[in-house]
Amino acid sequence: MSARRPASSAHLALSALWDWLFPPRCVACDARGAWLCPACLGRIKYFSTSWQLEEEDIAPLQGAQAAAPLEGPLRAAIHQFKYQGVRVLAEVLGDILHKGWCVNPWPAEVIVPVPLHPSRLRQRGYNQSAVLSRELSRRTGLPVAEAVLERIAPTRPQVGLSAEERADNVRNAFSCVDPGLPHANVLLVDDVWTTGATMRACGQALLSGGVQAVWGLTLARG
């Protein structure tokens, strides 16, 4: 496991000044002092094992796991991170994702984030799955390959869709555009697993592109 690079003294001083001028508030309870306070972090109920799914629920993935249920403080943090542009939550969410990974580390060689369509990426300004993947990479030493998968169809948001609608929405929406990972074992990362439709569609695209196997990891399970 690779160690995190230490921050420079100038960066730490600037960060301390910024926090003094604009003290962070917990996105879950509004307490001062942290973007996700210790009390709210303590309320997150981590899965102790990867959940068991029927083969048809995860195919073509080899397996799937999440750090914790999508509820309480974690739900609030993911919403703020994903939709409200609170990117400073990346580090604490990266810690949570890493805890999920440590429960059952799949034999992966490279991390691949679920991509956004270019139009959605321009609108949001960043891909939350890519940011989480970089945070996980810092903690595990696994490299991140962000150019492997491409979202080729501007799909509707999955929120509010039924399981069947979600599957139809992302069918053929992804393409493996970089052939640089032949026979690799891939860890596919996203923020939330609801029905698994997006992860399965990405997994199929990766396998069609020649990778050896794909495992799924998310921050939360809905």
Q: What angle do CA 48, 52, 58 make, to 5 degrees?
A: 125
Pick 189 or 15 by higher pLDDT. 189
Which pLDDT value is given to residue 184?
92
Range of the domain at 104: 50-70+90-221
Which pLDDT value is given to residue 9?
64
The CATH number covering residue 205 comes to 3.40.50
By three-state DSSP, how is residue 87 classified? helix
Give a yes or no: residue 76 inside a domain: no
Give a yes or no: residue 33 inside a domain: no
Q: What is the mean pLDDT of residues 33-43?
A: 96
CA 65 vs. chain centroid, Å, equals 11
Give a yes or no: residue 81 inside a domain: no
Instruction: With a cut of 80, say whether residue 161 has pLDDT above it.
Output: no
Which pLDDT value is given to residue 155?
76
For residue 140, the one-letter residue type is T
Q: Say how many domains are in the chain.
A: 1
Cα separation, 184 vs 48, in Å, equals 27
Cβ atoms of 198 and 171 within 8 Å: the answer is no
Pick 56 or 218 by higher pLDDT. 218
Which pLDDT value is given to residue 6?
43
For residue 123, the one-letter residue type is Q
Q: What is the mean pLDDT of residues 10-30?
A: 74
Give a yes or no: residue 100 inside a domain: yes
Average pLDDT, the chain: 87
- Counting residues of the chain whose pLDDT is more than 70, the rounded percentage is 86
Instruction: With a cut of 90, say whether residue 59 has pLDDT above it.
Output: no
Instruction: With a cut of 60, say whether residue 15 has pLDDT above it.
Output: no
pLDDT tens for each residue of 87-129: 999 999 999 999 999 998 999 999 999 999 999 999 999 999 9
Cα separation, 36 vs 78, in Å, equals 11
Maximum distance among all alpha carbons in the chain? Answer: 52
Give a yes or no: residue 189 inside a domain: yes
Which pLDDT value is given to residue 222?
87
Q: What is the mean pLDDT of residues 132-152?
A: 96
By three-state DSSP, how is residue 68 classified? strand
Instruction: With a cut of 80, say whether residue 208 has pLDDT above it.
Output: yes
Instruction: With a cut of 80, say whether residue 57 has pLDDT above it.
Output: no
Give a yes or no: residue 56 inside a domain: yes
Q: What is the mean pLDDT of residues 181-198?
A: 93
Cβ atoms of 65 and 53 within 8 Å: the answer is no
Give a yes or no: residue 20 inside a domain: no
Cα separation, 73 vs 84, in Å, equals 15
- Counting residues of the chain whose pLDDT is more than 90, the rounded percentage is 67
Instruction: With a cut of 70, say whether residue 136 has pLDDT above it.
Output: yes
Token pair of 136, please?
Answer: 């996980």
Give a yes or no: residue 83 inside a domain: no
Select from 155, 169, 175 the least CA-distant residue to 197: 169
Cβ atoms of 149 and 115 within 8 Å: the answer is yes
